Amino acid sequence: MRLTFRSAVTGLVLATLTFAAVQISDAADSPNPPADLKAFQKYFTDKFPKLKLKDFVNGPYSMDAGLYKQWKEKEEFPPYEFALAAGKELFNKPFKNGKTFADCFPNKGIGIRQNYPTFDKKQGKVVTLELAVNQCLENNGEKPFSYTKDEMASVTAYMAFTSRGKPFNIKIPNDPRALAAYENGKRYFYTRRGQLNFSCATCHVQIPGDHIRAEVLAPALGILNAMPIYRSEWAGMGTTSRRFTSCNSQVRAVPLTPQDDEYRDLEYYLSYVSNGLPISGPGARP
């Protein structure tokens, strides 16, 4: 099915997402992340019964035969390859004090992508991998990276690559602040905003696999497993922060500041409900 952007707007602005409504209602009654995860994954596996659970991390490529063929050909010479090389160099480059990123992370930063975002009890907030990278830089007297592309995209691409195949393993500790952050991210995901009155779920829950203009919409399940990504429309790499801000702009809403609390909480929610799906980043998208 191919939707024009105008027809998509007309139909979706008037539609009510039953799934979203149920999720928001449940959130208000009795927060239950494990039940959310089970319902979220069942929704997508029921909607796309021919797909294996692990295939959802391939986004639009798992839903369109033509795109899948293009993707397999592209992976022979992946467009993110340059970022991996740059990211590895940056990751291992000593800071002015002689330390490196390896000194800031468990397991020296290798094979840990699947554990982020995490809730840091000392800071009392969700810490994404991007935020952790910049905190490492600042704690060692270095200038932080831009959250949207360039060095940040390269370093996180390299870190994601070292975790490929490892399943998301996001934890929600027994801390009311962690549960509140999770619920805040969930609320943001299902809340409509902007001139087009879209929520994140409008595109990525209700109509994944369909087209808006030339873009095949990815399912929300597994959507962050491929981050960071190279996008043809960007002609370069972008981070999760860049994807969130660009999505807000596309629905004509005012983007938040990268790594704003709501964006980090949104990433926490989306990552948690994709627990068990493998890391496939860095990825490439049209």
Q: Please identify which of the residues 27, 37, 90, 247 carries the catalytic annotation.
A: 247
Tokens describing residue 154:
């390269």
Q: Which residues are annotated as a binding site for substrate?
A: 243
| Distance from C-alpha of 204 to C-alpha of 221, rounded to nearest angstrom | 8
Q: Which residues belong to the annotated binding site?
A: 104, 136, 200, 203-204, 243, 247
What is the rounded radius of gyration, in angstroms, for the C-alpha atoms of the chain? 18
Point out the annotated binding site for heme c: 104, 136, 200, 203-204, 247
Cα–Cα distances (Å) from 239 to 149, 150, 190, in that order, read 6, 9, 22
Instruction: Kindly tell me the sign of the dihedral angle through the C-alpha atoms of 14, 16, 20, 21.
Output: positive
Q: Which residue has the tokens 């294996």?
A: 52
Calpha distance 66→68 (Å, rounded) = 5
Q: Can you count the helices (H) and strands (E) in the chain?
A: 11, 8
Token readout for 39 is 């319902």
Cα gap 16→205, rounded to integer Å: 12
Task: Name beta bridge partners: 119.
Answer: 126
Distances (CA, A) of 181 to 24, 126, 188, 234, 242: 14, 7, 11, 30, 21
16 is catalytic: no
Beta strands at 283-285 and 229-231: parallel, antiparallel or unpaired: parallel
Which active-site residues does the annotation give? 247
